[in-house]
Amino acid sequence: MKRINIFIALLVASLLFSVNAKSEEIKPTKNVIVMIPDGTSIGVYSAARWFKLYNNLGDGLMIDPYITGTVTTFSSNAPIGDSAPTGSTYATGVLQQTGNVAIYPEVSNNDIFEVDASRTYQPAATILEASKILKNKAVGLVVTSEFPHATPADFSAHYYARGNYDVIAPQMAYQNLDVMFGGGNSIITDDIIKHFSNNGTTLIQDDKSSFLNYNGEGKVWALFGQRALPYNIDRNPDKYPSIAEMTEKAIDLLSKKENGFFLMVEGSQIDWAAHANDAATIINEYLAFDEAVGKAMEFAIKDGNTAVLVLSDHGNSGFTIGSARCPGYDKLSIEKLFETVSGIKLSANGLESILIKAEPDNIRSEFKKYTGIDITDEEFEVLRSSKNYRETDYTKVGTSINLAHNIVNILNAHMCFGFTTGGHTGEEVIMSAYHPQGDVPKGHLTNQQVNKYLQKVTGIEIALQELSDRIFVKHNSLFEGLNHSIDKTDPKFPILKVKKGKNTLELKAFSSVGKFNGKNFDIGSVVVYIDKNDTFYLPESLKQKLQ
């Protein structure tokens, strides 16, 4: 095992050296857009192309002219990663473990590469933070998930557990993002609303018209739905914007900023549909994302000073055109392969919400209305006897014996798409890129190399690790010799108190607003508190407040 680890480490080190050697040729651009179709395996691209051809929707995908290579994504201790560590590596260049959000990992028994134990739990500065702090760029996020979900959190928050929205959501709010479009109204707290009022952020909630008509100069959040937005195939266009509309609006607002911008756009729910093994929804969700890619590329080409990078963070479900369930599938016509999937009008979850309310005598007609499929007597009995609830964990929709799961099974029985799993997979992902001077990453890269490219094309002149050491210093080191204590009256949001003479500094966890002698001031970056080591991570500049 050690020999394997050494070999892999040497191989990746040589690859990184190669990229560094070429990196001098990369000309920075004013604007950088990163677009992530979460959980998109190569089979999705193929199915989406054939789907478009069969339905006379045009030839090919928006990414096609810009495909430049592939990327291997992985965690610090596993070849197959989830969105938290893989997206975090794109954002920070630091390999991380499952569940980690932009933070240095713990040492484990199966690390692929040596992990620096001295940095465990230190927040890792992201390319978004570097763009804002070092280049004074505007920054934004566009997603179809709830806003603190793994991938948007990867670029704008820091914690060891991706699911702890209580500490991730306020970090994102206190990052003072110029643009945040997505879902998650139920996650907005009174404290976040108060901060938005204090820093001039406009909050638009469940109002598509106000969102599309917003043309202000200040920061703006637009959120739709209590948690995530609906799947695109289920979306009411009068109520919810498409990811293309959100992307276009974000670019329009951010491009007004003098110093340029960094924008991350995620097609969040391609991954969710893949977890559910819902072929029609996977294809529809990807095509909605691809339309957003078209908007970004159109702007970049016209602007002449914008780079765009499009790449997934990992594969999901082993999605294929063709399945062992269909004898002779390799000889089936395009009509046989794509006619049924083209007639499906709702996701399995969307159809579930209708069938749950339907009388048993109406199940057959309702199923056909939204899928075009005449179900068998056996399939009818399966639907009628299903658990009458929706799986709350989206990663388990494909394995729970609930109504949505049984709908998916019936749909797949009438089509010839294959799935190997309801979880993530470890194949490399496709990379597409645009740069006005053609300085795009080519060939095969690792997720760490992607971050190196982003640093160069953004014009970051210091390593992100150096930035981490500037803005995320341990409090007991930073304030060594001074009187300091941690007030845990509110255990979720402890407050670090530091005294020197008559001066008092108060720093609340997961906030960017501190108090000096009782008066608020902008810290400049988010304060992160890690309960596992009872440590605050703070900008080194704070020490000057007590000089």
Q: What is the pLDDT of residues 301-357, one digit of tens each?
A: 999 999 999 999 999 999 999 999 999 999 999 999 999 999 999 999 999 999 999
Tens digit of each residue's pLDDT (9 = 90 or more) over 106-121:
999 999 989 999 999 9
Going by C-alpha positions, the residue among 265, 264, 235, 279 that lies closest to residue 46 is 279
Exposure of 255 in the CB half-sphere (CA atoms within 13 A): 16
For residue 344, give every residue at least 6 positions away whose Cβ sits within 8 Å of its Cβ, in sequence order, or none. Answer: 233, 280, 370, 371, 372, 411
Place 396 in a pLDDT band, splitting at 50, 70 and 90: low
Over residues 30-52, mean pLDDT = 98
pLDDT value of position 394: 64
Average pLDDT over residues 459-482: 97
Query: Distance between CA atoms of 142 and 267, rounded to whole angstroms?
Result: 9
Is 408 a residue whose pLDDT tops 70? yes
Task: Give the integer Cα–Cα distance in Å for 285 and 274.
Answer: 10
pLDDT at 6: 42
Convert the pLDDT of each residue in 182-216 to its tens digit.
Answer: 999 999 999 999 999 999 999 999 999 999 999 99
Amino acid residing at 378: E
pLDDT band at 385, cuts 50/70/90?
Answer: confident
Residue 4 corresponds to which amino acid? I
The percentage of the chain sitting over the pLDDT mark of 70, rounded to a whole number, equals: 93
397 confidence band (pLDDT: 50, 70, 90): low
Mapping DSSP onto H, E and C, the string for 306-364 reads EEEEEECCCEECCCEECCCCCCCHHHCCHHHHHHHHHCCCCCHHHHHHHHCCCCHHHHH
Q: Which domains does the chain have, with CATH numbers?
A: 2-261+272-319+423-469 (3.40.720.10), 333-418 (1.10.60), 473-546 (3.30.457.10)
Structure-token match 């009438």, residue found: 414
Q: Does residue 17 register a pLDDT over 90?
A: no
Is pLDDT of 52 > 90? Answer: yes
The yes-or-no verdict on residue 261 having pLDDT over 70 is yes
Is 382 or 432 the better-scoring residue by pLDDT?
A: 432
For residue 255, name the pLDDT band (cuts at 50, 70, 90).
very high
Predicted pLDDT of residue 547: 83
Selection from 190, 189, 180, 183 nearest residue 206 by Cα: 183
Task: Find, among 90, 231, 201, the residue nearest to 138 by Cα.
Answer: 201
What was the pLDDT predicted at 400? Answer: 58
User: Is the pLDDT score of 398 beyond 60?
Assistant: no
pLDDT at 102 over 90: yes
Task: Please compute the mean of the pLDDT values over residues 282-299 and round it to a whole number.
Answer: 98
pTM of the model: 0.94
pLDDT (average), residues 477-503: 97
Of 159-163, 308-312, 387-391, 435-439, the least confident: 387-391
Confidence of residue 386 (pLDDT cuts 50, 70, 90): confident
Burial zone of 493 (CB within 10 Å; 0-12 exposed, 13-18 middle, 19+ buried): middle
Bridge partners for 503 per DSSP = 500
